[in-house]
Amino acid sequence: MKLITAVIPGASPGERPQELFKEARRRLRWMDYYESHDRNAPLTCRHFDISPQTFYRWKRRYAPRNLKTLEDRSRRPRRVRQPTASADLIEAVLKTRRECPRWGKEKIARLLNEDGWQVSVSMVGRILKRFRDRSILKEPICSSISVRKRLRQRPYATRKPREYQARQPGDIVQLDTIDVRPLPGVIIKHFTARDVVSRWDVV
């Protein structure tokens, strides 16, 4: 961002001008226009195409003798929570998570408490989040089970009417298939068949 030198309104010739960034210089033009047009705020907002909320927010901050009040303020919280976990506890959380990569903060906290550590679930969660933000901890590949419905009708599988009553084994057989994907690129077909009369299953 480019710094622009601005003279304080009403300053004596010997006073040192203040340096402003571009956005603060633009806000200073709002205030100058406002003062030179009988302090007409609606006219100022229309002239610079800004909302009244924006104008009045900066007008409340504006101090003619201190143009730095028109600069953007830091958005950093005034109070930042400092880590309270010890280095040994952080190392224990990281070690446990690497040994059991699919465990969440609840299980890790329970295991550490059983080992004698005094740690809450929320603290374990904050430690894990800090590791993820710093790319120290990588999440394991999720194993998902997906069910895909066939779009085309199978000619060898005919659905019986709702009122049809099965009377002997083999009359009606219920079929179910599912794709199990434990790893990327690995697909296991799981098949189940049940005879509704004999209750005999084939898996």
Instruction: Tell me how crowded residue 161 is: count the other CB atoms within 10 A of its CB.
Output: 6
Q: How much is the pLDDT for 58? A: 93
- What does each of the 203 residues of the chain score in pLDDT, given as a tens digit? 444 445 444 444 444 456 788 889 999 999 999 999 999 999 999 999 999 999 999 999 999 888 888 988 777 766 766 667 888 888 898 888 888 888 888 999 998 998 888 889 999 988 888 888 887 777 766 655 555 555 566 556 667 777 778 788 877 877 788 888 877 778 888 878 888 788 788 76
Give the residue extent of every domain in the chain: 3-70, 87-133, 144-202
Task: Give CA–CA dist 177/86, Å, rounded.
Answer: 50
CB atoms within 10 A of CB 59: 16
What gap in Å lies between CA 42 and CA 46, rounded to an integer? 6
178: part of which helix (H) or strand (E)? Answer: strand 173-181
